[in-house]
Structures are given as structure tokens and as C-alpha cells.
Structure 1
Amino acid sequence: MSAWRQAGLNYINYSQIAARLLRQALKTDLRVEAAKRDEANVKFTQWKDGKPVSDKN
């Protein structure tokens, strides 16, 4: 069994921790660029009867 499983982590948690530690270990100029890639945008759309429901009415 892998070490991250024995620690009670799933693969997503393990990879997030590893990525965070790697970004912290980078030199400052590279750290800024890596921090930009860390950001994510998510848009949620509600669906009803197979069609997206718009709030703009």
C-alpha cells in the first residue's frame, strides 16, 4: 500500500499537498509564475428539464 494511502489521503489530496510544497520550494521569480497557475475559476450552471436555467430574466 502506498504511503499516502496509509496516511489516510486520497490521490487528489496527496497531489495538492505535493504541488503546494513544490511551489514553496521554487525560487521567488519562478514561485510567482507557479502561483498564477494555481488559480482556478469555476462557473456553476443549474439545469432543469435538460436545459440550463438562466438567472438573467
Structure 2
Amino acid sequence: MIAHPQTDRARDDYLEAEKNSLIKHEYIQGKVDGMAGSSDAHVTISLNIASALKNH
């Protein structure tokens, strides 16, 4: 008997909805949770710290 892969409809629905969402979500084991956003300042600080640690 050959096993046929099953389509994960919930995952497909999540991916489709995420295309038009104003906020981003994460999908883990069938559960969808909103993700915390980051500001431009947060990204800049994070990259500066990572660069400083890499060069140290």
C-alpha cells in the first residue's frame, strides 16, 4: 500500500491569510499566534550589537 501525502488545509489557509495580513503571525503545530513587531531603531541596535560582537 502506498501512502499518499495529505494536504494540510489549516496550513494552506494560514499561508493565504498571511499574504493580506497587516500583522505577521507564526504557525507552530497547527496553532497561529501573533508575532511581536520590531521598530527600525530595534533592528539597528540589534545589528550594531551583532556586528560589535562579531568584530570583537
Q: Which TM-score applies when normalising by structure 2?
A: 0.31
Which has the higher relative contact order, 1 or 2, with Cα contacts under 8 A spaced 6 or more apart?
2
Q: Which has the higher strand share?
A: 2
| TM-score of the superposed pair, with normalisation by structure 1 | 0.31
